[in-house]
Structure 1
């Protein structure tokens, strides 16, 4: 095999029949016609299989980041005692709509990423399949939009919690609710990490969809 294309040669022998053998003197000897058929075959997997394997690994990492962001934000709360134990300040993620949206967005994205793993395995087994990869590309874009929107909304609230806004008399609360702010900040960072990985997954899918 000289290249990725395989070539097959078929030899067809044509001999003289008995009826014509004696009629023509000096007839040319038996001729051999060589028919060459070349079939273009895709290499087994090739670079597309490597892209599909890397895609699967990135999906696992994005699932871990998105689930970590969801769990961290979903369990974020802190209670501060004020004078007595009967009068307390309490901060929880569900007190703020952007944080609530953050939890739902990352939970949906992580759930989708888990469901996309079988399709990613199909792309590893059949690297040249177009439909599964195109389907993943479409839904990956939706997951990226959800994750980025949730992380951006939560990041704005975390910034206000750390720095406040003197123009609107919004005070920074992170000096009191330190644990709450640390957990929320970590969740936002994890969500942006998941969004970055999904973005790389989309780039890989688009790259793998191009013709070889």
Structure 2
């Protein structure tokens, strides 16, 4: 009986002296999961807002002008890029949860780091190209005789501008996720 009590005390003292770096790694993994969830919402919301953006402007009774996102291939690319990144983030959420359970996993973190970097490049490409079109919609280009359309299509321009904000916000979060993954890999290796 006495030997069993001593053994139970030894086990509990080992649990109390757990490695604090495991707790820090778990905390970093939790932060990674939270950032991924927020980035997922940002990318998917940006894609939905852009894909549902259209405005009709009746001028006289015979002419109807319509602005839709799919009138411009750049905005279509923006929707596709945000949808791909959002889908990727949703698919990799279970892996992020796995990293909370097993903070010392290295190979899966390296895989995430590589894919996160590719997705960051994709979302930046989509958001940057759409930004150029949104700039032209707001300001036009007198050298090319392109008129600014945002004076007439205010709702359309507000929605696509808001969609860009969500996409760039998700890109910033992906950047921080990449840094967090690199720190986690470094901590696991050392």
Calculate the TM-score normalised by the size of structure 1: 0.78
Task: State the aligned residue count.
Answer: 172
Among 26, 29, 51, the alignment partner of 1:49 is: 26
Task: Give the equivalent residue in structure 1 for 2:158.
Answer: 182
Among 45, 51, 62, the alignment partner of 2:39 is: 62
Any residues of structure 2 matched to 1:129-148 within 5 Å, and which? 129-148=105-124
Any residues of structure 2 matched to 1:128-167 within 5 Å, and which? 128-167=104-143
4+ runs deviating over 4 angstroms: 41-44
CA contact (8 A) 1:81 1:87 kept: yes
Gaps of 5+ in 2: 1-17
Task: Give the equivalent residue in structure 1 for 2:95.
Answer: 119
Task: Give the equivalent residue in structure 1 for 2:9.
Answer: none
Calculate the TM-score normalised by the size of structure 2: 0.87
Matched, 1:103 2:90: no
| Structure (1 or 2) with the greater strand fraction | 1
Larger Rg: 1
Task: Give the equivalent residue in structure 1 for 2:183.
Answer: 207
- CA shift, 1:44, in A, is 7.2
Gaps of 5+ in 1: 1-40
- CA shift, 1:46, in A, is 2.4
- Which structure has the higher relative contact order (CA within 8 Å, separation 6+)? 2
| Partners of 2:123 and 2:89 in 1: CA distance | 12
When the two chains are superposed, the root-mean-square deviation of aligned CA atoms in Å is 1.5
| Structure (1 or 2) with the greater helix fraction | 2
CA contact (8 A) 1:45 1:126 kept: no
- CA shift, 1:42, in A, is 5.1
